[in-house]
Amino acid sequence: MASVGHPLARHIGDLKRRLFIIGGTILVAFVIMFSVSADLIEWFKRPFADDLIFYGPAEALFASIKISFLAGIIASMPVILHQCWRFIQPALLPKEQNWGIPLFLLASGFFALGLAFCNLVILPLVINFFVSFGLERDLKPELAVGTYVDFNVKFLLAFGFAFELPLTLTLLSRAAIVQPEQLAKFRRHAAMIALIVSAVITPDATLFTMMLMAVPLIVLYEIGIWGAKWFGRRPAPSEYESDNDDFDDSLDDLAPPPSKE
């Protein structure tokens, strides 16, 4: 039992260490971003023309904390992705370990694409829809800074991580955890899960905001299926053997020569 428990304890210890590194990086980035939180809020309110207000004494403070936390996560994303890659790297073949930098850049690009899509397309649509709905009923829009920032932060984080779905499905297929045929078979279940996740994540459970979240998730899932089909196939056994033989040969080269008797 000791031989089984020792590797598990080592993996858990490695996971804890990397989580501490990620947490410390986010904390440092949060402190830096908090110093410029006023500029971040001003940039956030671009889709809304009027000034934001606050009702409670601490509402502006908590709004600054939320927006600084989001900015801290975005700034820490290179470290987060790097630590995730270092954790799974030992489980990959020597040839697959060379994918580190391309995957790192690809994951960062997907996350940035999700933030840009949400900020430039989704948030203006959502905010204009609700503000126009109130204006049509002769209501004056006075948005609280806490509610407004919370609304934006949830959407941005949700879309940033949602755009990692195709890459995640491709990697899971590459690791033989799932198969492209399984992903295609359960696409209806995935659509239902997307609707449920959208209802939970979106600040208000209206059909409009749910569909703005659920439809991109469904499309991203379909892209993940194609990514798993094209890039998620593991090499043939012959390629495995050649990789393992090359790895064994490299270990033999490092081994000391046998002693002559």
Pull the structure tokens for residue 117: 């899509």
Percent of the chain with pLDDT over 70: 83
Predicted confidence band of residue 135 (pLDDT cuts 50, 70, 90): confident
CB-CB contact of 225 with 169 (8 Å): yes
Q: What is the pLDDT of residue 96?
A: 67
- Give the CA dihedral 82, 86, 89, 95, nearest 10 degrees: 60
Question: Averaged over 193-220, what is the pLDDT?
Answer: 83
Distance CA 209, CA 114 (A): 16
Question: Averaged over 136-158, what is the pLDDT?
Answer: 85
Distance CA 182, CA 196 (A): 21
Q: What is the pLDDT of residue 23?
A: 94
What is the overall mean pLDDT for the chain?
81
Over 60: is that where the pLDDT of 85 sits?
A: yes
Q: Count other C-beta atoms under 10 Å from residue 85's C-beta.
A: 17
pLDDT in tens, 23-80: 999 999 999 999 999 998 888 888 787 788 888 888 899 999 989 998 998 899 888 8
Over 70: is that where the pLDDT of 1 sits?
A: no
Q: 45: closest CA among 153, 148, 159? A: 148
Q: What is the pLDDT of residue 237?
A: 53
- Which has more pLDDT, 166 or 238? 166
